[in-house]
Amino acid sequence: MGGAAPEPEARPQGVKVLAGEQFSFVDAVGGVRGMVESTLPALIFVTVFVATRDLRTALIAAVLPAVVAVVVRLVQRTPVTQAFSGVLGVGIGVLWAWRTGEAQDYFAWGLWVNVIWGAGAVISVLVRWPVVGVIVSLLRGQDMSWRTAADAAPLRRRYVWATWLWVAVFGLRLVVQVPLYLEGTDAVGWLGTARLVMGLPLFALGLWITWLLVSPGGRAAHPDQRPSPPR
């Protein structure tokens, strides 16, 4: 008698797509569920605040979907890492805005995250440990010999270019969002919109370009398209 069919292996999501042989924008943003969990709290916060101008109500409304996402995952016994990280980010934003009484401070932590990651990426290039190369090597279970091996110079350059790409992503977010943050409460709607547009969509685009740069053989295949077999 045949046993139960094995469960299909989970597809890599988020940064892990860099280790795959094909690219999916849906997987890059954590799947549809991950995308909803990541964007819904900020969307609700901006919508409620713009409609009511009541900071307390907007903050409470932002917390609810993040907490519900964790509870649902716990009940379903599915991985909760992304949901927990979402709750942490929302929680920091809520506490920051609650303490200062300024709605724009809900997004302050996200701005600092971009500063930290951008600075870290620059430093990693300067010390010749480009962070994209380190991450990709860890995901693929490879060593770091590409840093010094003479025949790995082309790959090393691609890792450096990909790291500078992420410096540009973080920098672009700051260039657009910091002026809106400094405008204060009146620009919260625009700040929230910029945060959403330059969040997962820009992240996924950056991952795709990174994948094109660092995938084996420098493939430049279309997203979600498997390479054609040799004839």
Please report whether residue 156 resides in a domain: yes
Predicted pLDDT of residue 10: 63
The Cα–Cα gap between 89 and 96 comes to 11
The Cα–Cα gap between 150 and 193 comes to 46
Please report whether residue 180 resides in a domain: yes
Calculate the average pLDDT of the chain: 86
Domain hosting 67: range is 14-218
Torsional sign, CA 119, 123, 125, 126: positive
Which range (33-42, 77-86, 175-184) has the least confidence? Answer: 77-86
Please report whether residue 132 resides in a domain: yes
Residue with the larger pLDDT of the pair 220 and 9: 9
Looking at the predicted structure, is the pLDDT value of residue 83 above 70?
no
Torsion (CA) 46, 14, 64, 178 in degrees, nearest 10: -30
Token code pair at residue 123: 């430093």
Please report whether residue 224 resides in a domain: no
Please report whether residue 190 resides in a domain: yes
Please report whether residue 230 resides in a domain: no
Token code pair at residue 140: 């693929």
Please report whether residue 72 resides in a domain: yes
Please report whether residue 44 resides in a domain: yes
* Per-residue pLDDT tens digits for 143-197: 999 999 988 899 999 999 999 999 999 999 999 999 999 999 999 999 999 999 9
DSSP letter at 215 equals S
Total domains present in the chain: 1
Residue with the larger pLDDT of the pair 10 and 230: 10
Q: How confident is the model at residue 130 (pLDDT cuts 50, 70, 90)?
A: very high
